[in-house]
Amino acid sequence: MAFAFGNSFICRDSATAKKVAFHPDIMTPCVTLEGDSYNPGGLLTGGSRRGGGVLLSRLHAVKEDESQLAALERQLHQVLAELQALQQHRQQYMELSQQLQLKAHQLSLAKEQMKQSEHHQLAEELAALEAELAQCEATSAEAEGKEKGLLDEAQALEREMEQQGRERGQRLKALEAKVKAAKQQAAAASKALKAKQNEREQLAIAVEASRGEEAAAQEQIAAAEAEVGRLAEEVEEAARKVAGVKEELDAAQGEVERRQGELRACDERMGAVEREVGEMEERKMNAGMEKKKLEHQVKTREAEQQRGFKDVERMLKQHAWIATEKAHFGKAGTDYDFPSRDPMAARQLLAEKQSEQSSVEKRINKKVIAMFDKTEQEYKDLQAKKDIVLRDKAKIEEAIEQLDEKKKKQLKVTWEKVTKDFGSIFATLLPGTTAKLDPPEGQDFLAGLEVKVAFGGVWKHSLSELSGGQRSLLALSLILALLLFKPAPLYILDEVDAALDLNHTQNIGQMIKQHFPHSQFIVVSLKEGMFNNANVIFRTKFIDGVSTVTRTVPNQSASAAGLGRAPPSAANASRQRGPPASTARKNTQGGSTRIRQEDAENVEPSEVF
């Protein structure tokens, strides 16, 4: 029995467990059926669930709560279904409300139209119809009686609408048809009244024009008055119909209000159900937590039992003598004579050691060593990653610095080359001048470059001091200097000398020969100064309605001598739509470009070679 329940006794209640645990002759830990633990070493557990029932009863209560919760959930689904149906009724109510407002607005418009109808104006203008007005009053009294009848009919209709809610739409449509018919009748009556009024005015004019036709006019007036009376009756009838429609609309409004009350009641019911569901959810959650606690306690007890079995097996395996000496346990005269020994002293010593161990365990965290090793390893990993990142950062910064330095060197080389060629080209195009690209004052070339021009050694403060032609040459020089940094094999220039005089035009040809020895130019020009520097000239003429192209080599000997070397490559091409024009072309290898005669015959005046 030493290891049957993990060195503990199982007691029925707390009182028994307390007596056994603290009995001087026993001093053994005890556990009640409710889960309370009593340890003679001074450690007590449990007690917070006193009066809570045993585990099985609590589990049974949890099952009952779950079944009750399921029933409430089914009730909630049913209420939600009813709510969805009520939402549909609410949508119908909103539609009926909108139709009701529309019909009420139409009714008010009909009333306003009736107030402003021709009937009232005729009643004011024709004083002779006072007798008929008295008859209308009598008719009005009769209409009041009919109105009461209509009220009774409206009440009957209201009861019928309460019994047959589904027919509301059809009745509203019927009411709309009645209102529409009443409006049409009122409009017809108004038109008839207007017609009769016009007829009466015509008759009055006829009476004034001819006394002899007075009798006939009186007869017509009498007929008109009779027609007016008839129309007035029709108007009254229309008014009664409108009143009936209004009563029906009021009944429909009452039905709508009743439905609103039902909706509010349903909303209140839904709120109560939602609150009840919330309470049940809370109860379910509490029951679930209690269930988990009980399951945890059951698992703990099962684990303790398994540990007890394992301890027995371990001790049997560890101490083989137990199996052989087990039969002598408790026998007198043997080494296992337990009654002859003093177990109290041993138990007291064991209790003291266990108490000391318990007090020490409270102050010592056994997981510290494992946590320290894990944290130390994580620190080493992070430190290694940090070192890798720092090395990568240093390499990246070094690469960036090298790239920045290369960029600065390349930009400086480019700037020096371009500004040198820029000044040389501009001096060739405009002798006696020079130009350069300088950084702004107080800054380096990375901040930007400014174009500066000097005439006769005097630097200009602004480019606005230059003429239009000088600025054109300056722009052309800058573009060619940029192109000269990385020359292309072929350039095409179209009338770049259009705004220049002959001297400057000739300078362009010299500049091309001097600065672009390894490139080929096709230049379109209309000025003779450009032709003097061309290796080959193509002239286009328009003769007898036919375009003619002629090829000319200005210097045959020079061209022939240049076959064996790479002469300056400059070519000029000219285009003209009317008078003769010339096109010049220069080959980089010193040879001349030829155009076949059959190709020249097909050239149009606008084509450029």
H-helix or E-strand spanning residue 108: helix 55-115
- In Å, what is the CA distance from 414 to each residue of 221, 448, 456, 485, 486? 112, 13, 27, 7, 10
Q: Is 30 helix (H, G, I), strand (E, B) or coil?
A: strand
Output DSSP code: residue 433. Answer: E
CA distance 396 to 384: 18
Q: Which of 194, 196, 173, 192 is nearest to 184 (CA)?
A: 192
Q: Which of 19-33, 346-360, 372-386 has the highest mean pLDDT?
A: 372-386
Instruction: For residue 503, name the pLDDT band (cuts at 50, 70, 90).
Output: confident
Q: How many CB atoms lie within 10 A of CB 374?
A: 11
Q: How many CB atoms lie within 10 A of CB 345?
A: 9
% the chain with pLDDT above 90: 10
Q: How many CB atoms lie within 10 A of CB 575?
A: 19
Going by their DSSP bridges, the two strands 520-525 and 490-494 should be labelled as: parallel
CA distance 512 to 523: 11
% the chain with pLDDT above 70: 65
How many CA within 13 A on the CB side of residue 568?
14
Instruction: For residue 379, name the pLDDT band (cuts at 50, 70, 90).
Output: very high
Going by their DSSP bridges, the two strands 490-494 and 458-459 should be labelled as: unpaired
- In Å, what is the CA distance from 1 to each residue of 7, 139, 225, 309? 8, 115, 128, 12
In 338-471, DSSP assigns E strands to: 433-438, 450-455, 458-459
Statement: residue 375 has pLDDT above 70: yes
Better-scored residue on pLDDT, 493 or 97:
493
Q: What is the pLDDT of residues 47-57, one digit of tens each?
A: 545 444 555 66
Q: How many CB atoms lie within 10 A of CB 114?
A: 19
Residues in the chain: 609
Domains of the chain, CATH where assigned: 9-51+297-328 (no CATH), 60-291 (1.10.287), 381-486 (3.40.50.300), 487-609 (no CATH)
Q: Which of 68, 73, 30, 34 is nearest to 53 (CA)?
A: 34
DSSP secondary structure of 236-270: HHHHHHHHHHHHHHHHHHHHHHHHHHHHHHHHHHH
Scanning 437-576, the segments in alpha helix (DSSP H) are 468-485, 502-515, 528-531, 556-561
Q: Which of 515, 534, 504, 506 is nearest to 609 (CA)?
A: 534
Q: What is the pLDDT of residues 124-174, one digit of tens each?
A: 665 565 666 666 567 666 766 766 766 676 666 667 656 665 555 665 676
Instruction: For residue 110, name the pLDDT band (cuts at 50, 70, 90).
Output: low
Output DSSP code: residue 365. Answer: -
DSSP secondary structure of 517-535: TT-EEEEEE--HHHHTT-S
Instruction: For residue 593, name the pLDDT band (cuts at 50, 70, 90).
Output: very low
* Choice among 239-243, 302-306, 453-457, 479-483 with the minimum mean pLDDT: 239-243
How far is it between the farthest Cα atoms of the chain? Answer: 169
Going by their DSSP bridges, the two strands 546-552 and 536-543 should be labelled as: antiparallel
Region 382-408: mean pLDDT is 94
User: Exposure of 518 by Cβ count < 10 A (0-12 exposed, 13-18 middle, 19+ buried)?
Assistant: exposed
* Choice among 162-171, 262-271, 350-359, 440-449 with the minimum mean pLDDT: 162-171
H-helix or E-strand spanning residue 490: strand 490-494
Q: What is the pLDDT of residues 511-533, one digit of tens each?
A: 888 888 888 989 998 887 777 77
User: Which residue is associated with the tokens 């030829």?
Assistant: 594
CA distance 66 to 75: 14
Region 536-544: mean pLDDT is 88
User: Which residue is associated with the tokens 């179209």?
Assistant: 494
Residue 21 tokens, joined: 């645990």
Question: Under a CB-based contact definition with an 8 Å cutoff, are residues 179 and 107 in contact?
Answer: yes
Statement: residue 295 has pLDDT above 50: yes
Q: What is the pLDDT of residues 398-416, one digit of tens each?
A: 999 999 999 999 999 999 9
Torsion on CA atoms 120, 121, 125, 127, rounded to nearest 10: 0
CB contact set of 595 (below 8 Å; sequence gap of 6+): 538, 549, 551, 609
Output DSSP code: residue 434. Answer: E
Q: What is the mean pLDDT of the chain?
A: 74
